[in-house]
Amino acid sequence: MPVAASDRERAPDLTTDAATEVERAEHASGLDRVALAASIPTPGDDTPLGRDLAESTRRRIQLTGRVFPKPVVPRVLTVANQKGGVGKTTTTVNIAAAMAQSGLQVLVVDLDPQGNASTALGIDHHADVPSVYDVLVEGRSLLEVVQPCVSVDGLFCAPATIDLAGAEIELVSLVARESRLNRALQAAAAAGHSFDYILIDCPPSLGLLTVNAMVASSEIFIPIQCEYYALEGLSQLLKNIELIKAHLNPLLHVSTILLTMYDARTRLSAQVAQEVREHFPTEVLSASVPRSVRVSEAPSFGETVMTYDPSSSGALAYLEAAGEIADRGARP
Ligand code: ADP
Ligand code: MG
């Protein structure tokens, strides 16, 4: 979309300009978006806030309305980290929503008895709802328990109910206890499901539920919180992944790492980020997710931040990260 020279020279009222430009970007084609982004004026060094806003507007315009490429084959990613509170669930639901908003068909499998992913997606998961428990323990078909997420087209969820808390123990005595989820996914594939991406949200432990996820997928997606103890426990997770790779699933590997709750004001966040990037240069996504109140507020409204506040820094970061994952998956 051509932008008049007078527009470019105009003294920038960045907040209103940003909103209008983003609105325009939603209707713009790829090339137009590049032109629009280039047209955002860059304030001088004396206004750091203005510069940040201009930069984030530019990124937002480039990302908004982009259609993500479909993967070569449907991808299944297990979102795991045995530490609690590192952003597994937040990452699962927001990456899934960002992908669905960008044209992909996405299924979230909630494998945490707490059902936080189901809650965040606004999915009914009271005790009587058919759920992942029925799939794992009763052998019910996965597609029978899937529900659509009403706020995002193309996004679906297999919910977790409180029953799942018992599954960890009930599974022990069942045949093929480590591969029940894998069987269910294989059966769904054989029945011709249309999901491009399946993201499995794991509980904060390395028990049978997490093992089932790792047997059912070839890719592990690890969210790492940018805090001091971030790398502690990671070696345990990697050891477990190696064990499962050796005995149950030779294709298993860590494909994706996302830095979450990044706080640009602290040296600690930067140090942790640098260390993780040095250890895992190809796995870590370039985008990192900032600590943001909007991200943590969204679940209490049964929404992801992608619909709760799509123009927030957290939504933008998740959109950027989802785009990177999709681009990687589209390479043959
Ligand atoms: P996990 O699933 O690993 O236990 P959660 O995704 O539930 O972790 O996140 C733990 C807490 O941190 C939640 O209260 C969540 O809202 C909050 N949180 C996650 N990501 C962010 C973020 N980028 N900014 C602020 N709060 C966040
Ligand atoms: Mg969780």
How far is the centre of ligand 1, averaged over its atoms, from the C-alpha of 87 (Å)? 4
Whether residues 30 and 102 fall in one domain: no
Per-residue confidence (pLDDT) for residue 11, from 0 to 100: 41
Whether residues 148 and 13 fall in one domain: no
Whether residues 237 and 322 fall in one domain: yes
How far is the centre of ligand 1, averaged over its atoms, from the C-alpha of 148 (Å)? 23
Per-residue confidence (pLDDT) for residue 180, from 0 to 100: 97
Domain end point (choices 63, 90, 113):
63
Question: What is the C-alpha separation between 89 and 115, in angstroms, rounded?
Answer: 9
Q: Please indicate, yes or no, if residue 69 is contained in any of the structural domains.
A: no
Whether residues 252 and 324 fall in one domain: yes
Whether residues 30 and 55 fall in one domain: yes
Whether residues 53 and 160 fall in one domain: no
Whether residues 79 and 56 fall in one domain: no
For residue 188 and ligand 1, the question of a CB distance below 6 A is answered with: no
Per-residue confidence (pLDDT) for residue 65, from 0 to 100: 80
Whether residues 251 and 108 fall in one domain: yes
Q: Please indicate, yes or no, if residue 107 is contained in any of the structural domains.
A: yes
What is the tens place of the pLDDT at every residue in 271-311? 999 999 999 999 999 999 999 999 999 999 999 999 999 99
For residue 291 and ligand 1, the question of a CB distance below 6 A is answered with: yes
Question: Which residue has the least CA distance to atom 4 on ligand 1?
Answer: 85
For residue 116 and ligand 1, the question of a CB distance below 6 A is answered with: yes
How far is the centre of ligand 1, averaged over its atoms, from the C-alpha of 98 (Å)? 17
Q: Which of 296, 304, 316 to mutate to test the pocket of ligand 1 (most atoms within 8 A of CB)?
A: 296
Per-residue confidence (pLDDT) for residue 245, from 0 to 100: 97
Residue 225's domain is classified under what CATH number? Answer: 3.40.50.300
CA quadruple 129, 132, 137, 143: dihedral, nearest 10: 90
Q: Please indicate, yes or no, if residue 225 is contained in any of the structural domains.
A: yes
Question: Which residue has the least CA distance to atom 18 on ligand 1?
Answer: 296
Whether residues 106 and 166 fall in one domain: yes
Q: Please indicate, yes or no, if residue 317 is contained in any of the structural domains.
A: yes
Q: Please indicate, yes or no, if residue 307 is contained in any of the structural domains.
A: yes
Per-residue confidence (pLDDT) for residue 293, from 0 to 100: 96
**How many structural domains compose the chain?**
2
- What phi, psi does 141 have (nearest 5°)? -70, 140
Per-residue confidence (pLDDT) for residue 4, from 0 to 100: 42
Per-residue confidence (pLDDT) for residue 20, from 0 to 100: 57
How far is the centre of ligand 1, averaged over its atoms, from the C-alpha of 172 (Å)? 30
pTM score, whole prediction:
0.88
For residue 86 and ligand 1, the question of a CB distance below 6 A is answered with: yes
Sheet holding 219-225: strands in order across? 147-148, 155-158, 106-110, 197-201, 75-79, 219-225, 253-260
For residue 84 and ligand 1, the question of a CB distance below 6 A is answered with: yes
Point out the residues of the chain with pLDDT beneath 70. Answer: 1-31, 45, 332
Contact between 157 and 118 (Cβ < 8 Å) = yes
- Which ligand ends up closest to the CA of 112? 2
Q: Please indicate, yes or no, if residue 221 is contained in any of the structural domains.
A: yes
How far is the centre of ligand 2, averaged over its atoms, from the C-alpha of 38 (Å)? 39
Q: Please indicate, yes or no, if residue 143 is contained in any of the structural domains.
A: yes
Whether residues 82 and 51 fall in one domain: no
The DSSP line for 62-86 is HHTTPPPPPPSS-EEEEE--SSTTS
Per-residue confidence (pLDDT) for residue 64, from 0 to 100: 78
Contact between 160 and 126 (Cβ < 8 Å) = no
Per-residue confidence (pLDDT) for residue 14, from 0 to 100: 46
Q: Which of 78, 90, 110, 291 to mutate to test the pocket of ligand 1 (most atoms within 8 A of CB)?
A: 90
Contact between 4 and 41 (Cβ < 8 Å) = no
Which atom of ligand 1 lies nearest, measured to the CA of 83?
3
Whether residues 79 and 119 fall in one domain: yes
The alpha helices in 233-266, defined as continuous H runs, are 234-247
How far is the centre of ligand 2, averaged over its atoms, from the C-alpha of 287 (Å)? 21
Per-residue confidence (pLDDT) for residue 48, from 0 to 100: 72
| Bridging pattern class, strands 147-148 and 155-158 | antiparallel
Q: Please indicate, yes or no, if residue 141 is contained in any of the structural domains.
A: yes
Whether residues 81 and 201 fall in one domain: yes
**Closest among 284, 249, 237 to 76, alpha carbons compared:** 249
Domain end point (choices 14, 29, 63):
63
Per-residue confidence (pLDDT) for residue 6, from 0 to 100: 42
Residues of the domain holding 121: 75-329
For residue 313 and ligand 1, the question of a CB distance below 6 A is answered with: no
Per-residue confidence (pLDDT) for residue 188, from 0 to 100: 97
Neighbour count for residue 113 (Cβ, 10 Å):
19
